[in-house]
Amino acid sequence: MIAILRFVSVVNAAIWLGSAIFFTFAAGPAFFTPEMKALIPPPYNGLAAQLVLKRYFYLQHVCGVVALLHLVAEWIYFARPMERLVSGTLIGVICLGLIGGLWIQPKLKHLNYVKFSARSTAIEREDADSSFALWHGVSMVFNLIIVGGVGFYFWSVMRTPSQTRFNSTTRYRS
């Protein structure tokens, strides 16, 4: 059981960190390069990025839930106290992911629609453009914080586990 818990936690953290780094620094910006704009002109490149971003947030939410379940399972199974910094970081990253995926992204999708809609007036487009830029910046800051937090979580999963609270781990056999 010890090996299975450790394996699941390491694989989950690696997938989470890898996907966060890949999306933030490679996949996300790729939609707005001149080459991509030639293939998929605006506003369709932004719509394609939003579809990928939706899947990215699903993956973030799943990895966050698995990480939280692992932390609780480790606490119960090993009787190991939860480290406040690790659990706090994990909860913070999950909350930022939920805010980004369930609140900011739908807002950005709506603003993008207004920005490029033929039905919108020039004033509405201008307001949507400035509001989109602000919320996109907030989203990027959140994403960078998430990458840092998931990196810290990955490091904490990879290091040697601390001692259990009451019993040695040799007492339990898998």
Q: Please determine, for residue 81, whether its predicted confidence score (pLDDT) is greater than 90.
A: no
Nearest to 17, CA basis, from 160, 153, 161, 167:
153
What's the mean per-residue pLDDT of the chain?
92
pLDDT at 82: 85
Q: What is the pLDDT of residue 1?
A: 75
Name the residue range of residue 84's domain.
Answer: 2-171
**Integer Cα distance of 111 and 8 in angstroms:** 39
pTM of the model: 0.87
Q: At what angle do helices 122-158 and 2-22 cross, to 10 degrees?
A: 150
pLDDT in tens, 111-139: 999 999 999 999 999 999 999 999 999 99
pLDDT digits (tens, 9 = 90+) for 157-173: 998 665 555 555 555 55
Asked if residues 112 and 46 have their Cβ atoms less than 8 Å apart, the reply is yes
Nearest by Cα to 66 from 169, 163, 162, 150: 150
When divided into structural domains, the chain yields a total of: 1
The string of pLDDT tens digits covering residues 5-17 is 889 999 999 999 9
